[in-house]
Chains A and B, each alone.
Chain A
Amino acid sequence: MIVAIRAVILYAILLIAMRVMGKGDLGELQPFDLVVSLVLAELAVMPMEDLDAPLVHGIMATAVIMFLQCFISYISLKSNSARKIICGTPSIIFDHGRFNVKDMNKLRINMNDILGQMRLKGYYTFEDIDYLIMETNGDVSIVAPESKTGKRVKRIPIAAILDGKIMHNNLEKFNISKEQLEDSLKKEKLHYKDVLYGFFDENNKFVFYKR
């Protein structure tokens, strides 16, 4: 009976903790989300099983994890550098017939994994796809020619501004000059801080969404 009551209390506490941590954490599984899920599960089971351990110990540990999770989520939302450290960055594994073997080795994925992911998404040959991108949550995105027109995607959109911050790394990587971005912003009479998401499309046209 005591176990049942303790289980109800811990369930309520975990439910509150998960609600405070937010929906985003439930939907996608970033590396630190996985850690939190594993730790929370363990924290809930220990005081439930061990009747000698006070419930307060479990509640205290849950409060700490909840705060850390909220704090890390907030930091990764506000800072690109922190986001890179905590979540990593997406890697382009396949780009118009060329494989990025260096990133494949770094991510420890082999051709079997890639082919499996392709099949799961309904693609069976590399000729059907333009880009294959490994996302930070371990999922694979495939950019393929538009099904209706059969038009090939020349280049994926290059994020130039994210959350009002210029993505210098992306500009450098895809040979887009800062002047080009500044000109585009000037044309639209915009400051980069007012842009929530701005990118250069495959025709190098600057497309943006204001805050």
Chain B
Amino acid sequence: MRMVVISFIILLLMIGIWAWFYYASVDPITTYFWDSLTELTDVIRDEDWETAKKDIALHTDKWYEAKKLWVFFINQKDIDNIDSSIRQLNIYIENKEKVLAQAELEHLIVLFYIIDENECLTIENIF
């Protein structure tokens, strides 16, 4: 009986860590990026490059902060994809490439959407 209890506590601990990670980090951060990147789409559409530069710098910092925790739980490939996409977006905004920046922004939104979808507890994910 003691071992059943110990293994159950370990299991609960692991589920607790996962739940904390999802609800305290993945969910709020992906929501933040959806909202802020959608706002950035409007800024790029209006070709307000100074605001776009400030915004993307802020979002990049936010991403690097979140990444410190995410590397322990999320597949490294997904993290590398976001890293690469943010880097490209920075370059497009610096060079005032409107179309490329818009396309990369959409790509980045989709990448965050995929992470949230993959980590969420749904029937589709189970099967």
Tell me the complex Cα distance, A66–B76, Å.
Answer: 26
B4 A74 Cβ-Cβ under 8 A: yes
Question: Quick one: closest A residue to B17, CB to CB?
Answer: A56
Question: Quick one: closest A residue to B13, CB to CB?
Answer: A63
Closest Cβ of chain B to A8, distance in Å, is 17
B74 A66 Cβ-Cβ under 8 A: no
Contact mask for chain A residues 3-24; partner B; CB cutoff 8 A; 1 contact, 0 none? 0000000000000000011100
B113 within 8 A of A: no
Give the dominant DSSP class at A's interface.
helix
Tell me the complex Cα distance, A93–B1, Å.
Answer: 35
A56 B7 Cβ-Cβ under 8 A: no
B23 within 8 A of A: no
Contact mask for chain A residues 68-85; partner B; CB cutoff 8 A; 1 contact, 0 none? 011100100000000000
Contact mask for chain A residues 47-61; partner B; CB cutoff 8 A; 1 contact, 0 none? 000011111100110
A56 B72 Cβ-Cβ under 8 A: yes
Indicate the member of B1, B8, B11, B77 with the most A CB atoms within 10 Å: B11
Chain A residues lying within 8 Å of B72, measured Cβ to Cβ, are: 54-56
Chain A residues lying within 8 Å of B18, measured Cβ to Cβ, are: 56, 60
Contact mask for chain B residues 1-20; partner A; CB cutoff 8 A; 1 contact, 0 none? 10110111011011001100
Tell me the complex Cα distance, A54–B18, Å.
Answer: 13
B99 within 8 A of A: no
Contact mask for chain B residues 38-52; partner A; CB cutoff 8 A; 1 contact, 0 none? 000000000000000
Tell me the complex Cα distance, A20–B8, Å.
Answer: 11
Chain B residues lying within 8 Å of A52, measured Cβ to Cβ, are: 75-77
A67 B11 Cβ-Cβ under 8 A: yes
Question: Quick one: closest A residue to B18, CB to CB?
Answer: A60
B91 within 8 A of A: no
B114 within 8 A of A: no
Chain B residues lying within 8 Å of A63, measured Cβ to Cβ, are: 7, 10-11, 13-14
Chain B residues lying within 8 Å of A70, measured Cβ to Cβ, are: 3-4, 6-8
Contact mask for chain B residues 98-126; partner A; CB cutoff 8 A; 1 contact, 0 none? 00000000000000000000000000000
Chain A residues lying within 8 Å of B76, measured Cβ to Cβ, are: 51-54
A64 within 8 A of B: yes
Question: Quick one: closest B residue to A19, CB to CB?
Answer: B3
Chain B residues lying within 8 Å of A69, measured Cβ to Cβ, are: 7
Chain B residues lying within 8 Å of A74, measured Cβ to Cβ, are: 1, 3-4
Which residues of B approach A to under 8 Å, CB–CB? 1, 3-4, 6-8, 10-11, 13-14, 17-18, 71-77
Q: Which 7 residue pairs spanning A and B have beta carbons closest together? A: A52-B76, A67-B7, A70-B7, A67-B11, A63-B14, A70-B4, A74-B4
